[in-house]
Structure 1
Amino acid sequence: MKELQIPNGYFHLWRNYLAEQGVNGLEIKQIQPYKKQIENILDAPIAQQSSYPLFWNIIEITQKQLDKPQLIFEMAKGVKPEHFGVLGYMATRSTSFAEALSYILKFSRLVIDGDEIIPMQMHQEQQNIILSWPYIDDDFNLINELTNALMIELGRKIVPLDNFPLRRVGFAHSAQMAQFHYQKFYACEVVFDQPDYTLVMSTESLNIQIQQADPSLLQLLIQQAEEAIASKPNHENMARQLHLIIAEYLKIQQQAPKIEDIAKELHVSVRTLQRQLKDLGSSFKQILEAERMKHCEKLLAQQMSLTDIALQLGYSDQSALARAFKAHTGQTLLQMKYQLKEDKNQSL
């Protein structure tokens, strides 16, 4: 399983839930091999991060032991700001829903962190605000479901229930339990096997005022969060992470990003990003061009016109796209279109 770091607060949430059920989680027979590791995590500061694979193991064991496939939804009912660390307190002390979302986007690494993780994005479609992030693989199904549920439940505790703005929840994976459990918890449309994970809310929700707002405390929390982010080591796999972010940007925004856009996503300066890539023997231009060509092939397979593809990928015209494609792949656009058509015919 890919390594991922999650808040110690998630382990505390698990222990507290079981205690409410009259169960000592550490005494469950199948959890005994992990007892010392879990005790060390529970003794450490709640805002620190620990191993996701370990958490996945104990949740799967607990689900089977209690015969509760809906365990994560029952656990979510007990969520408190401290289970998300400093970010949880920032969300509850923000002045508005829009401000809380901005901090969630900026400081998400304080909750879930790892080389495979792409920052959550927010965009608007008509009267909807959409938070989205990509599918990686099935190893992440549990953490996506749990973190989704925790965010929504914490939101319900800081926003008046009759104003709660959730309209739709989309999962990139298939349902992990009977669908009525999802419907009961989210109380809105829930869909599965989508291109990305999404939370859809009304644009009006951005103006909702948070009842527990505390601007003075919030400034101290922001400083603490910035220091925590700065203390995190840079991922050795920066180039891979950047490939994933640019690919997602091209898919969602349907235009080529500028380096300023990506630096903002990563919450670093342009100069810092350029220096980190140079140390890795790469550059933003090289990575952007590689992802443009991959996306170009996808758009060709969708029978999009070359003019529209060039516009969407940020080239001045069809000729500029053709030159870039030939230089990068050694093939012409027409050769690639023919190859894609042949591949499609053979698969039928």
Structure 2
Amino acid sequence: MSVKIIIGYLRLLNRVLQQEHIDLSKAVAPELWHDFRACLENPDEQEFDVERYTLLLQAAQAYFPRPITLVLAEHANLQDLGLMGYLASTSLDLEQALQLLQRYYSLVFKQTNLEQLSVQQFSQYIQIVWSASYCDYREMYELNLALILKIAQSIVQDALVPPQMIQFGYTPQMALYHFEKFYGCPIQIQAGQYAIRFSNQILQAKSIAADQQLNHVLSTQAQQSLNSMSSFEAQQQQFRQKIQSYIEQGLLQQEEVLQGYVAKRLHCSERTLQRQLKSYQLNFQDILDQYRLEQSKLYLQQGKSFSEIAERLNYADQSAFGRAFKRWTGVTPKQFLKL
């Protein structure tokens, strides 16, 4: 799975790196840094996914004594969250902002196939919850949790009452006391689920820039975007899955030219295949790399040798596989097994 994020996340990270005078170009793979810069310069033509963004966060962490996710949240503004940020700021109160957050949370991403957020209200408290199925997205989950608090603090007129509880779906890489200080409440760990809980008294906290007319216009725009995205992504996902299934078959049959094999199975030329991929905003090499990454992690966990994995994934040798794996993840296969 490849989930694209909006440009605001990249601009936020870039802003923090510039303010702290940090050059991350030597700490990450050249291709990763090139794609990051290219997307910043041409956001309408380039896309960036969560997997690569988390690699940048992991690399940036080495330059900070505190969790990079909290540093980013402290520097964030509503504009970084795009339409979602403007919807929150024009809401009448925090209750309306949370309702809109639940409805349009997926607009923070360019695809809707990430776990959905849920706002649950009880007699004494309200909590925002979402499941977390992908350990590789841990930093992204932490960042989004911190951004929810940041949004709430930014839009209300008076000081926000601290949360009653924060729950992490994965144990963070850094000590919990950093997070407890940031949130001002205890941190719990429950595998697979993130949550933030507030007392119900915060719901009536008034927004600084409440504008119901503008909020209605923005909500209509958000719903149109969501409808458009959902329709396109359903077709995109179906085509992606079809390509991936043929890639899998081609690897099993040890086909030398995978793209040619896939085009043949689709009864078209390679040029036509390229046009079809472009129409769905997909790239053949990205789909192949994603499949190889997921399979290589599975094979490593199953205890298969590096040479066997290289053969199964159609690499020239295990060194070529090792280089590709480090380019994807930032670590070697041996280091991955020790994580």
- Contact in 2 for aligned 1:108/1:119 (Cα 8 Å): yes
Distance, in Å, in 2 between the alignment partners of 1:21 and 1:81 is 21
- Tell me if 1:189 matches 2:186: yes
Distance 1:177 1:103, change over 3 A: same
Query: Which residue type is aligned with residue 42 of structure 1?
Result: L
1:142 alignment partner AA: E
Q: CA RMSD in A?
A: 2.3
Deviations 1:132-185 (A, max 9, x none): 111213122111101111121122121245333521111121132111111111
Question: Which residue number in structure 2 is paired with residue 235 of structure 1?
Answer: 234
Partner of 1:14: 13
- The answer to whether residue 84 in structure 2 is matched with residue 77 in structure 1 is no
2:130 aligns to what SS in structure 1? strand
Letter of the 1:107 partner, please give it. Y
Q: Which runs of 5+ in 2 are unaligned?
A: 239-339
Structure-2 change in CA distance of 1:157 and 1:231 (3 Å): same
Give the aligned residue type for 2:4. Q
Are 1:95 and 1:215, in contact at CA under 8 Å, matched by a contact in 2?
A: yes
The structural deviation recorded for 1:131 is: 1.4
CA 1:234–1:18 in 2, change beyond 3 Å: closer, same or farther? closer
SS of residue matched to 1:6: coil
SS of residue in 2 equivalent to 1:199: strand
* Structure 1 gap segments, 5+ residues each: 239-348
Which residue matches 2:219? 222
Cα distance in 1 between the residues matched to 2:150 and 2:29: 27
2:117 matches 1:117 = no
**In structure 1, the residue corresponding to 2:149 is in which secondary structure?**
helix
In the TM superposition, residue 130 of structure 1 has moved relative to its aligned partner by 1.6
Deviations along 1:68-99, one digit per CA (max 9) or x if unpaired, are: 45111111111111111101111011111111
- One of 86, 93, 96 as aligned partner of 2:93: 96
TM-score computed with the length of structure 1 as normaliser: 0.62
Residue identity matched to 2:164: R
CA–CA distance in structure 2, aligned partners of residues 127 and 29 of structure 1: 47
Give the deviation of 1:194 after TM superposition: 4.7
The CA deviation at 1:113 is: 5.5
2:165 aligned to 149, 163, 168, which one? Answer: 168
1:249 alignment partner in structure 2: none
Confirm or deny: 8 A CA contact 2:119 2:126 kept in the other structure: yes
SS at match of 1:62: helix
SS of the counterpart of 1:136? coil
Identify if the C-alpha distance between structure 1 residues 45 and 213 changes in structure 2 by more than 3 Å, giving closer, same or farther: farther
CA distance in 1, matches of 2:220, 2:153: 26
Change (3 A) 1:43 1:164: farther
Tell me, in whole angstroms, the C-alpha distance in 1 between the residues paired with 2:120 and 2:27. Answer: 46
TM-score normalised by structure 2 residue count: 0.63
Deviation, 1:126, is 2.8
Whole-angstrom distance in 2 between the partners of 1:102 and 1:30: 38
8 Å Cα contact 1:132/1:196 also seen in 2: yes
Q: Give the drift of 1:3.
A: 1.5
Count of matched residue positions in the alignment of Structure 1 and Structure 2: 234
Show the counterpart of 2:144: 147
What secondary structure, in the 3-state scheme, does the structure 2 residue paired with 1:235 have? helix
Q: Which amino acid aligns with 1:3?
A: S
Aligned to 1:28: 26
Q: How does 1:317-336 map to 2 (within 5 A)?
A: none
Deviation at 1:116, TM superposition (A): 4.7
Task: Give 2:4's aligned residue.
Answer: 5
Answer whether contact 2:111 2:233 (CA < 8 A) is retained. no
Shift of 1:12: 0.6
Which of 28, 37, 40 is the equivalent residue of 1:39?
37
2-side partners of 1:195 and 1:35: how far apart? 30
Post-superposition CA distance 1:181-205 (Å, at most 9, x none): 1111111121113562111111122
Asked if structure 2 preserves the Cα contact closer than 8 Å seen for 1:76 and 1:150, the reply is: yes
